[in-house]
A and B are shown apart, each in its own frame.
Chain A
Amino acid sequence: RKEVEQDPGPFNVPEGATVAFNCTYSNSASQSFFWYRQDCRKEPKLLMSVYSSGNEDGRFTAQLNRASQYISLLIRDSKLSDSATYLCVVAIYGNKLVFGAGTILRVKS
């Protein structure tokens, strides 16, 4: 079983739509959680950290459910510029992160 699993997509949505991505992780000792965004042929960039209480950054909302070992990312009012691959990332121990393979989002006009 992969340490971090994501639905690869692609998710094809119209502009203005709300879209949600899910991610599960296998190690119950995981300590920190993140969403990264990766544009085509570019480096990943930190989008937001994910806290147990849930957190919001503009149109983006991240949720963590430790009991179910589940992380989500909700994007409201999708923009064309949101088209990218979204990577779910888990810190298990030490200074190392484990990256999911990513979910592709395509926002169309």
Chain B
Amino acid sequence: SQTIHQWPATLVQPVGSPLSLECTVEGTSNPNLYWYRQAAGRGLQLLFYSVGIGQISSEVPQNLSASRPQDRQFILSSKKLLLSDSGFYLCAWTATSRAYEQYFGPGTRLTVT
């Protein structure tokens, strides 16, 4: 069966510090991968999605970036965090054959201080 991992689970970072969040998927190949952010009490906001290695689509202009160095690895980064980057970051995957059924990782709760 397929599983999706995210780490770290929680993170507290000062303003201006860099960020790297990692997501990996097991048990499938060539998945579509997604990064979302959920601010407190808000809906999920799609940040990036990828349909293959090195292929990244950005949904919201901001100080975040994403990379997909391997088929089942998706990384979210920032060079300098802002207070507004605080939130719950979720990675999700879909099989290309069922591209609308998304399955989420456990998430990373980021607090920028």
What sequence of 0s and 1s flags, for each residue 35-68 of chain A, a beta carbon within 8 Å of any chain B beta carbon?
A: 0000001111110010000000000000000000
Which B64-102 residues sit within 8 Å CB-CB of chain A?
Answer: 88, 90, 94, 99-102
Which A1-60 residues sit within 8 Å CB-CB of chain B?
Answer: 4, 31-32, 34, 41-46, 49
Which A54-88 residues sit within 8 Å CB-CB of chain B?
Answer: 87
Q: Are A95 and B51 in contact (CB under 8 A)?
A: yes
Residue of B nearest to A32 (CB): B100
Contacts of A102 in B (CB 8 A): 43
Contacts of A101 in B (CB 8 A): 42-43
Contacts of A43 in B (CB 8 A): 90, 104-107
Contacts of A87 in B (CB 8 A): 43-44
**Once bound together, how far apart are the Cα atoms of A31 and B98, in whole Å?**
13
Q: Are B49 and A100 in contact (CB under 8 A)?
A: no
Contacts of B59 in A (CB 8 A): 96
**Once bound together, how far apart are the Cα atoms of A44 and B101, in whole Å?**
12
A95-B51, A101-B42 known; A42 vs B106 contact (CB < 8 Å):
yes
Q: Does B103 contact A (CB under 8 A)?
A: yes
Contacts of B106 in A (CB 8 A): 42-43
Contacts of A95 in B (CB 8 A): 32, 49, 51, 94, 99-100
Q: How far is the CB of B41 from chain A (nearest CB, A)?
A: 8
Contacts of B19 in A (CB 8 A): none
Q: Does B46 contact A (CB under 8 A)?
A: yes
Q: How far is the CB of A21 from chain B (nearest CB, A)?
A: 15
Q: How far is the CB of B34 from chain A (nearest CB, A)?
A: 8
| Interface contacts beyond A87-B43, A97-B100, A101-B42: sample of 19 additional A-B pairs, CB < 8 Å, sorted by A | A4-B43, A31-B100, A34-B100, A41-B109, A42-B106, A43-B90, A43-B106, A44-B44, A44-B104, A45-B104, A87-B44, A95-B49, A95-B51, A95-B94, A95-B99, A96-B59, A97-B102, A99-B43, A99-B44
